[in-house]
Amino acid sequence: MNIDHIAQAIEDDAGEPIEGLRESLAEMKAGKIARQYTPEQLLLQKARQRLHLTQSKFAKLIDTPVATLRDWEQGRFKPAGSALVLCKVAIKNPDFLLSIAAH
C-alpha cells in the first residue's frame, strides 16, 4: 500500500489537503484500530437493531434510564446480566419480548 499515492488521490478528489490523512493511513496499514467494541456492546446494539428501536425506546422497553443504556453501548460501563439476557431474548424472539412488554 503506497500511502502517499492513496493520500494524493483522496486529496485530489477532495480538492484540498486533508490534515492527518497520511498519519491515519499509516495507522491503518500498521493495523492499529481506533475503536474496539466489547461483546456486550455488540449484543446491545444487535438487540436494539433487531427490535428496530431507538436508544430511548429500547431503554424504556427494558426499564433502564437512557443515559445508562448509552453508557453501556459506548462501553463506559458493563450492563447487568439481566439486561444481557433480555438482549439475547430480543435477538432470538423479538416478537415475544415486545408482546410481554406490551402487557
Q: Domain 39-102: which CATH class?
A: mainly alpha
- In Å, what is the CA distance from 20 to each residue of 28, 49, 97? 12, 33, 46
CATH 1.10.260 domain extents, the chain: 39-102
Q: What is the model's pTM?
A: 0.65
For 53-101, how does the pLDDT look when each residue is reduced to its tens digit (9 = 90+)? Answer: 999 999 999 999 999 999 999 999 999 999 999 999 999 999 998 998 8
